[in-house]
Amino acid sequence: MAGKVTLADKFALFDEQWAPRLAAHYNGNEVRLAKVEGEFHWHSHPDTDELFLVIEGELELEFRDRTEAMSAGDLIVVPKGTEHRPCARNGEVKLLIMDAEGTPNTGDETTAYKPVEV
């Protein structure tokens, strides 16, 4: 049976940066929550799109040809195979990220953080 997910409650359960947590599953996708600060590394996901929704804070999503400045309530879908780098240079950002199940957050299975459920 389905139950509601309260994002604030789920975010309160962890403090680790760049370590996504699973909040829900949806049609073969994982709804992940992450707290981020600083710069991540350049990467891509060759087989799937990736959705970012900023819940709190300011995120810069860098692409090779441009940077998208995002704030709370902004959403972007990164097309599969597109190199990108999320950066939170103005303090912590809380993100909801939707990826196909099992997609490595780093774009590389050997360096990926394995998300755990919250």
In this predicted structure, the answer to whether residue 1 has a pLDDT above a threshold of 70 is no
Matching CATH number, 16-106, of 2.60.120.10, 1.20.200.10, 2.40.50.840, 1.20.1250.20: 2.60.120.10
Which residue in this structure is represented by tokens 């929704």? 53
What is the distance of C-alpha 115 from the center of its chain?
A: 11
pLDDT in tens, 52-71: 999 999 999 999 999 999 99
The amino acid that residue 78 corresponds to is V
pLDDT in tens, 24-52: 999 999 999 999 999 999 999 999 999 99
What 3-state DSSP class applies to 59?
Answer: strand
CB-side exposure of 109: number of CA atoms within 13 Å?
Answer: 3
